[in-house]
Amino acid sequence: MTRRPALLLHGVALMAAVVTSAPLLWMCVASIMPTGEATSTPFRWWPSSPTLEHYRVLFAQLDLGRAAMNSALIAVLTTAASVCCNGLAGYALAKLRFRGRRGITRLLSLLLIVPAPIALLPLFLVLKSLGLVNSYWSAVIPGAATVFGTLLVRQYALAIPDDLLDAARMDGASEWRIVRSIVWPAASPILASLAIWSFVASWNDFLWPLVVLSDDAKYTLPVALAALAGEHVQDTELMMAGSVVTTVPVLILFATLQRFYIRGVLAGSVKG
Amino acid sequence: MITAPRASESRAAWWFLAPAILLLAVFFVLPVLIGAALSLTDFDLYAIADWRALRMVGLRNFAETLSNPLFRTAVANTLWFALLALPLTLVVSLALALLLDHSALRARSVFRTVFLAPFVTTIVAVAVVFRAMYHPEYGLVNWALGLVGVAPRDWLGSTAWAMPALVLLRVWKSFGYYVLILLAGLQTIPGELHDAARLDGASPWQRFRAVTLPGLRPSLVFIGTIALIDALQLFAEPYVMTRGGPVRATTSVVLVMYEEGFRWWRMGSGAAIALLLFTLLLCVAAGQRWLERRWRVS
């Protein structure tokens, strides 16, 4: 390869990276601008005097810290439930011999194409009749067991050798013991992918918590931010600070654990 | 070695499956079925208070929905959104995937991380950011366009540009995911095919047409389907950025469903909209299957 095409290649890639990251960079910069500076000409890429005032307002006056705690709690509970439910179910469908296995697997593959918004209204009614609306559980439930998660684990667990499991059974190990000492370690990479995938999906979810959490003390970050965005349309710097608080935790999580996240994305895409 | 299912194994299987199946049955399958039933009723605010107020109305919800001008506008808007987003997403993702796949590119994983970052951000937050960026006077977008000599416009304030503005946000947010899938697809194309084509004197463009594109077809069909299905469920962007405006120019199907259900509490007609949307999505999925089968035969 000669010099000039390589230079062009890197130039184009760099340009694409700049355009891609510009909105997020500007979000961070605008969040520390003094009030009014993000909506003034000429356009600025750096505050005249950086300030954390907007973050102070968000946490001290607008109680965004509470929304952050709600988001964290719901995302952690969802992740734990998802790893347990989908992990066990996926393993059972992949490796345990029982009648009905094929039928259930096929049914799940069919359900995979039903998108969540379809069930939105009736799911609300179901939770309402169970008295769960406006509780944290109502926000956790849709992500606790998912068709996608179960099939993801199943696909991976298929590769666990049967001989290994049967040998353990010969030695008199209980099924539960086998799960803990063989399956859990063997499947840990895909469970890690599932965990980070569940966490990010739960943290970012908007439509469902918007519907089901009516008490603003229970709002998650996206719902609280959307409510703020309606009231504080003019306070651009404040809204940018709120967006930073909402996006940066998942961005950091993604940056540190992206190996697992990417594996989850790719494993999910193979299934179709 | 095939053995009859052991009792202990089969019992364990059902115990392991029970939590997931129970949750999915009660909170996913049941609601979908209830939704289908609801669409045949006049379920509204009174019925929420007292189920006995519920009446069967047959297909009236469907007839009313289909003749409702707001719903028709929403369908047209949603299809317009999909029509703009789909080709743009495919072209951008394909171009950047080819770029990242180039053997001379350094720091590939850094670029991949940057491209994927928007995908993991919260849609509400980036919708808030883009709303500020689309500001006609002070926004980043008009400023950047000014640098290359394009006249500023009122992105979210005009009926013509509001939808393209939402499309740009969608493409920006999702292309990294599609790049990732295309990169995986590119790895499956054997290098020998490229070498053979090169020996035959094929130009880069000919190699792209004859080797890369056919090899990527399954990945392209997959991401096209996902992008289309996601586009048809447009909701958070108009909800946060435009409230469906200006003059309903960005009102989407899911937004209408949300308002029917949770603003006006007309659950019956909301459920009818959900079912109509589902039918449309099923057609997309069926279309994907058909495309795949046709190409496998040829």
Set of chain A residues whose Cβ sits within 8 Å of the Cβ of B120? 200, 204, 250-251, 254, 261
- Which residue in the set B12, B28, B138 is minimally distant from A43, CB to CB? B138
Set of chain A residues whose Cβ sits within 8 Å of the Cβ of B35? 118-119, 121-122
CB contact under 8 Å between A242 and B123, yes or no, is no
Give me the half-sphere count of Cα atoms (radius 13 Å) on the Cβ side of residue B109.
4
Is B25 exposed, middle or buried (CB count within 10 Å of its CB: 0-12, 13-18, 19+)? exposed
The shortest C-alpha distance from B255 to chain A (Å) reads: 10
Q: Which residue of B has its CA nearest to A92?
A: B13
What is the reported pLDDT for B42?
A: 86
Set of chain B residues whose Cβ sits within 8 Å of the Cβ of A6? 104
At B212, the amino acid letter reads T
Q: Which residue of B has its CA nearest to A114?
A: B278
Neighbours of B197 (CB within 10 A): 19
What's this model's pTM, rounded to 2 decimal places? 0.89
Q: Between A and B, how many residue pairs show a Cβ–Cβ distance under 8 A? A: 275
* pLDDT, tens only, B67-102: 999 999 999 999 999 999 999 999 999 999 999 998
B41 — phi, psi (to 5°)? Answer: -120, 170
Give the pair of three-digit tokens for residue B209. Answer: 């047409």
The shortest C-alpha distance from A48 to chain B (Å) reads: 16
Q: Is the ipTM of this complex over 0.90?
A: no
CB contact under 8 Å between B17 and A93, yes or no, is yes
Q: Does B286 touch chain A (CB under 8 A)?
A: no
Give the pair of three-digit tokens for residue B275. Answer: 């079912």
- Helix (H) / strand (E) containing A154: helix A147-157
Q: Are A68 and A245 in contact (CB under 8 A)?
A: yes
- Which residue in the set A89, A119, A269 is minimally distant from B32, CB to CB? A119
Evaluate if residue B3 carries a pLDDT over 70. Answer: no
Strands, E assignment, B90-206? none
| C-alpha A243: how far from chain center | 16
**Per-residue pLDDT in tens (0 to 9) along chain A, 272 residues:** 456 788 888 999 999 999 999 999 999 999 999 988 888 878 888 888 889 999 999 998 888 999 999 999 999 999 999 999 999 999 999 999 999 999 999 999 888 888 888 888 889 988 988 899 999 999 999 899 999 999 999 999 999 999 999 999 999 889 999 999 999 999 999 999 999 999 999 999 998 999 899 888 999 999 999 999 888 878 899 999 999 999 999 999 999 998 888 888 787 665 43
Q: Are B180 and A262 in contact (CB under 8 A)?
A: yes
Q: Does B222 touch chain A (CB under 8 A)?
A: yes
